[in-house]
């Protein structure tokens, strides 16, 4: 076995001595899709963001939220960093829910320059979410 510093073993050898290449894969959630844990993080990552942020207000018990979440994530990925998605669980961050008057879920809200620009309440299909984002980006 060959080691170079902290690099994991990339090759193993057969008894005949010919190397077998091993594929190493890693998956990571994109940096422009993130979960908000508290009000400080909301201020840092949403209100002070340099790019527009879609805030997805949701609850774990909400079935419509569970159906919309993968659609919102996929649409945001398609915009490739032009907009971020912040996921806010209203049961874990009640101070944010109360401060912004969120009374139902799911809700998508666009924040730009520290302000709410537009709110899209309820469950929506991917094409509706995409159109909503395009309008907010001026595309």
> Known catalytic residue: 62?
yes
Active site residue: 46, 53, 54, 62, which one?
62
Element (H, E) at 33: strand 33-36
Active site residue: 36, 46, 59, 65, which one?
65
What distances in angstroms separate CA 49 from CA 36, 54, 112, 116, 117, one per listed residue?
13, 11, 8, 12, 14
> Known catalytic residue: 65?
yes
CB 35 within 8 A of CB 73: no
Tokens of 114: 């520290």
CB 8 within 8 A of CB 52: no
CB 90 within 8 A of CB 98: no
Catalytic residue ranges = 62, 65
């Amino acid at each position: 076995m060959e080691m170079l510093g902290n690099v994991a073993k990339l090759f193993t050898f057969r008894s005949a001595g010919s190397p077998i290449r091993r594929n190493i894969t890693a998956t990571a959630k994109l940096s422009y899709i993130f979960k908000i844990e508290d009000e400080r993080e909301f201020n840092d990552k949403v209100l002070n963001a340099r790019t527009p942020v879609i805030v997805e207000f949701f609850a774990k018990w909400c079935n419509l939220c569970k159906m919309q979440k993968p659609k919102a994530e996929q649409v945001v990925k398609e915009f490739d960093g032009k907009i971020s998605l912040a996921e806010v669980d209203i049961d874990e961050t009640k101070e944010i829910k109360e401060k912004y008057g969120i009374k139902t879920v799911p809700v998508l809200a666009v924040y730009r320059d520290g302000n709410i620009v537009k709110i899209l309440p309820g469950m929506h299909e991917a094409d509706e979410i995409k159109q909503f984002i395009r309008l907010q980006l001026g595309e």
